[in-house]
Amino acid sequence: MPRIHSQRGRPPYPDVLTLKEWKVVALLRQGLGNREIAARLGVSVNTVRTHVSSVLGKLGVERRADVLDWPGMPGVWAIKDKAFGEQSMRLAIYMTAIRVRSLEASVPFYDALLGQTGVLVSPGRHYYYLGGVALALREPDAHGLELLPNPDWIYLATDDLEAVRRNADAVHANVTEDVRLQPWGARSFYLRDPDGNGLCFTDETTIRRHDR
């Protein structure tokens, strides 16, 4: 997608919408009117109207209602704080870990849910490799840890959301929210594993990014 050039001599913004415009989109998708959005953002109603008009033009839609059906979501640049500056070293997330009571019980659950066989890398530690990032199951007893579920969800993209949903039924996962189109445009569902860890599976085709 070509870079979007803002008006009035401002430098070009590298995402399809500016951060303020993404905030307006999020509030539109909550069903808020201009006055409510203005109150939430602490701006004037006229400013909101200007943002809404800009959003419609950039997304190529004619009505506010069309924004609700637009499948896009912010890319990396839309949520990146300029204060981060240039990178001084190369960094990447290579692993995320969750604690499970027993690998003997959890590995069959995850094998069936993820449709792959992981690998035992050390006592009490079992890895699944997902798109270049390892999902690690760890037994707390083997690492001197408490058995605590992750405080937040782990988000996984898939090219076959329906297959994963069937897998979730097959392993009797606790599906806390069934497949639906989320307000931010992603189609996903949520579940918890037997130890209470939360997983969100998202249809990768509904994740519209504008990264460069």
Query: Per-residue pLDDT tens for 26-56?
Result: 788 777 889 999 998 889 999 999 999 998 8
Distance of CA 195 to the CA centre of its chain: 22
Question: The pTM is what?
Answer: 0.59
Q: Write out the residue limits of the CATH 1.10.10.10 domain(s) in the chain.
A: 19-84
What whole-number distance in Å separates Cα of residue 20 and Cα of residue 54?
A: 11
Q: Positive or negative, the Cα torsion across 116, 120, 126, 130?
A: negative
CATH architecture of the region 19-84: Orthogonal Bundle (1.10)
Q: Write out the residue limits of the CATH 3.10.180.10 domain(s) in the chain.
A: 95-206
Q: For 181-193, how does the pLDDT look when each residue is reduced to its tens digit (9 = 90+)?
A: 988 788 999 999 9
> What is the CATH number assigned to the segment(s) 95-206?
3.10.180.10
Question: What confidence category does residue 4 fall into, taking pLDDT thresholds of 50, 70 and 90?
Answer: very low
